[in-house]
Structure 1
């Protein structure tokens, strides 16, 4: 059989036609040499040119932004040392479980707007509609929040420049990264993630030294676990619950590997490595990072972000109080880089989500279009524009107030998305079993099944209830309608989206798993079907005919 190049859309892929029209044609990546079978129903105008290195680094650093570097200050005030640490432990277990569910599905179904298509395929198209638009709103809110955070970070250096001017400057940076080729975006995120990942080791070592009394300025004895011993919880159990929105917001975006998988050359190699590395980020960034805050900064420090003072990062305050201004300035610069990087990848993810919605008929069809460099202009421009507009609506508001509102909204959207991902995984496995397929035929299997998926789903449901409780009875504030709707309006919005989806699609409550087409949108990998040797399997017969 004579191979032929598929044309300008994917010049790096060679496709071979089979004599049997039903057979899946084999494809070979001309750069990596990876061989896989054609993924029926998964073709888009995106370019699959991101590598395992890109996906791994994006998974490691994409979510490291203001949630950790700034939000940990407000969490320390609300929950105390023990409260913030336990909050990150619980959130860490959740995203670890969600990531394993993503890994198993993203290898088999590496689709644009993956979460939407998985939810629509295995749960209900109406829920897929709600997930897709909820995630899109989540990404544009994150863009706005990161632009707001950049202003808070810059106030450490100067207050002479108007907030609106800084927003324009950093928005231009976010736009510039997103309008470049996909490989440019990938390389920039690799660099940013490398810097953030490297810096956390500086933070850990230096904070341990400061806590041990090794800084130029100390009180004559080590800090150690002084704050843990004196006030482990500043507001009791309710204070612990109150840190959860910020902890979840800090980890929101960790699931972006599922979206980026659609633009990787070989998801079977890239996705498991990205999923396997998540424990490094969880342990190093969030658990160690939050622990360093608790052993260096008092929860009653007025200048903490969320307090009554300058609203600086707790890490910056730790260096300032220890008399190390150089590290304080470097820390602030890293925070600024992190904030802009998170805003950039939110623009990327939001555009791909809108594109995936269009392929499902849930958004304007123009969103499906991408240029020859793989840039989805029609989806990218509205995403960035709405995010910028939301940021500008709040230039006159206090930064910590806006952060509280946006982080609560993002937390609700994130919990909904995580829960639907886990439920999609549960139902995908059930459909696989009902249709008589073997677990061994999955291209990649998570060892956490079924406990990880069920833990993630149940915990998300419980925490959505916790967020409702905090919206009705907020910490330290008299219950009022304004704070309730500012914190919880995302949940009614999700329900409205679901109802709209039901009206549009008129589907049953849940899809019939016995009738789900498990091969539509699936990526077939040559090495898997060759090993399976299953008689009558279309993909295997295609592979055998190729080697005749």
Structure 2
């Protein structure tokens, strides 16, 4: 943490001081302290804000929504994004409350270890790292699809190799260079979404496009309830990652979800037929539904611009995943969950071992696209990522529930929380319940897949991530032994806690802790 930060007064008081003073009934008037870190961060608030904003819009919306439209139909894709949006909103509130109280590096892992159990934390940490790896592979195969709109003369392996090197170059450059690249990319991404929404409304109302909700009337669900289920699981991987969206975005999460995903997916359903063979995964050009909408409306220049913007999205997400994956290994090493060599970085903050493992494995997996169709590879990787995501979201909500439970049985007052979510406990239980339900749904679809015959190959392709999580968890259980749950009565609630001065806590309550949000984002992002 930057030593100049107003919230990081170096206090050597032990966290137990506040507890002792509270038990003695004394008023406490001290500067904020606790939960400090020796990590050095080079990304400014501007970088973090734009990365958070831009990373809310992924390839799933721009490209994968074509497959979702085909499988689920207009109503299926919209309801799928609505459900995923409600889950993100719930998870974000859980993160927000815990992030203000415990703004620690590798926060999700540490919260799980503190309130659930170390074995679950170990499984979560490595699941998150592997999800970054898979995302890199998925973005590289997305490059092949996007560039295929312009030419099919270049071999798939060549495109993957070229842009794998580009992502590596961005990732191993100075952190500030990475930050500037992402600021530019995020500005383009955020600005373009407004152009898309306005232009798609015009297209849907025009003579050459779909009028109103024609496709909703003709075929709201293309594959019935099973098609809707297939979308509900997949969109978890396609929507915003709360890790990069909170806590500053807590107050505006509905706006972002509505603008980016609900309106974005709605625009697809009123301009493109779910039976269009050119949709990603079809037998035609395998293009984005947004590109198809512009092209079918005779707006060829906009179709090319849209494809170019998607290309920027793909590279941006790939570089963010390289950055995030390598920093995740640092956090795991600091927690004793990875070899200590992963904690080492050079003088400008590059964790070479983490970068090498993340980028090499992510790029290597992308070559699966050479001998398989882009749509199949995208579906495999998206299924893997969505299940890792659901596992992570579920543990975040469970950690929040357990934190409040611990807070209560140890005699603490809810009013002592520096920021409390008005949604608790309903949102936390909503998010946790749907994570469990959708993981069961994904099991059903892995056994009886849509448009495919049941087979061991199909099952493992769609559900292997859960098997990996279970194996890692049981391996960690064998190592750690002990009880299945952390005993709530023994949890030290003041360990790693951030203590706020009274005036600061009141300000945080009134303003949704926006005054400290950028620094907490920095903590969690790193």
TM-score, normalised via structure 1 length: 0.85
1:243 to 231, 245, 256: 231
Q: CA 1:352 to 1:115, structure 2 compared with 1: closer, same or farther past 3 Å?
A: same
In the alignment, what sits opposite 1:362?
337
Conserved 8 A contact 2:156-2:369: no
* 1:80 pairs with 2:55: no
Quick one: distance in 2 between partners of 1:385 and 1:20?
Answer: 44
1:67 to 2:60 alignment: yes
Cα RMSD after superposing both structures: 2.4
Deviates more, 1:349-358 or 1:489-498: 349-358
Q: For 1:27-426, what aligned pairs fall within 5 Å after superposition? A: 37-40=32-35, 42-47=36-41, 49-51=43-45, 53-213=46-206, 218=208, 223-251=211-239, 254-257=241-244, 271-426=246-401
| Deviation digits for residues 355-385 of structure 1 (CA, Å, limit 9, x no counterpart) | 1111111101122223343333332221111
Alpha-carbon spacing, 1:479–1:530, altered in 2? closer, same or farther (3 Å): closer
1:531 CA displacement: 6.8
The separation in 1 between residues aligned to 2:423 and 2:345, in whole angstroms, is: 37
Match of 1:440? Answer: 415
Contact preservation (8 Å) 2:42, 2:176: no
Unaligned runs of at least 5 residues, structure 1: 1-8, 26-34, 259-270, 533-548
Q: Distance in 2 between matches of 1:239 and 1:509?
A: 37
List gaps (5 residues or longer) in structure 2. 19-29, 508-526
Deviations 1:480-503 (A, max 9, x none): 111111000111111101111111
Q: Cα 1:514–1:505, aligned 2, differ >3 Å: closer, same or farther?
A: same
Q: CA deviation at 1:349?
A: 1.8
Change (3 A) 1:503 1:228: same
Cα gap change, 1:119 to 1:320, in 2 (>3 Å): same
2-structure distance, mates of 1:36, 1:390 = 49
Q: Distance in 1 between matches of 2:503 and 2:171?
A: 35
**482, 485, 488: which one aligns with 2:460:** 485
Is 1:507 aligned with 2:482? Answer: yes
Stretch moving more, 165-174 or 143-152: 165-174
Structure 1's 391 and 78: CA in aligned 2 closer, same or farther, altered over 3 A? same
Alignment of 1:2-17 (within 5 A): 12=4
Post-superposition Cα deviations, 1:405-424, rounded to whole Å, max 9, x if no partner, equal 11111111111111001001
Task: Tell me how far apart the structure 1 counterparts of residues 42 and 83 of structure 2 sit (CA, whole Å).
Answer: 35
Change (3 A) 1:448 1:19: closer
3-state SS of 2:484 partner: coil
TM-aligned CA deviation for residue 48 of structure 1: 6.7
Q: Give per-residue Cα distances to partners, 1:132-168, cap 9 Å, x unaligned.
A: 1111111100110011001100001112222222222
CA–CA distance in structure 2, aligned partners of residues 373 and 64 of structure 1: 29
User: Which protein is richer in helix relative to its size?
Assistant: 2
Change (3 A) 1:22 1:497: closer
TM-score of the two chains, using structure 2 as the length reference: 0.89
SS at match of 1:514: helix
CA contact (8 A) 2:334 2:340 kept: yes
Judge conservation of contact 1:124–1:507 (CA < 8 Å) in 2: no
1:477 deviates by: 1.3
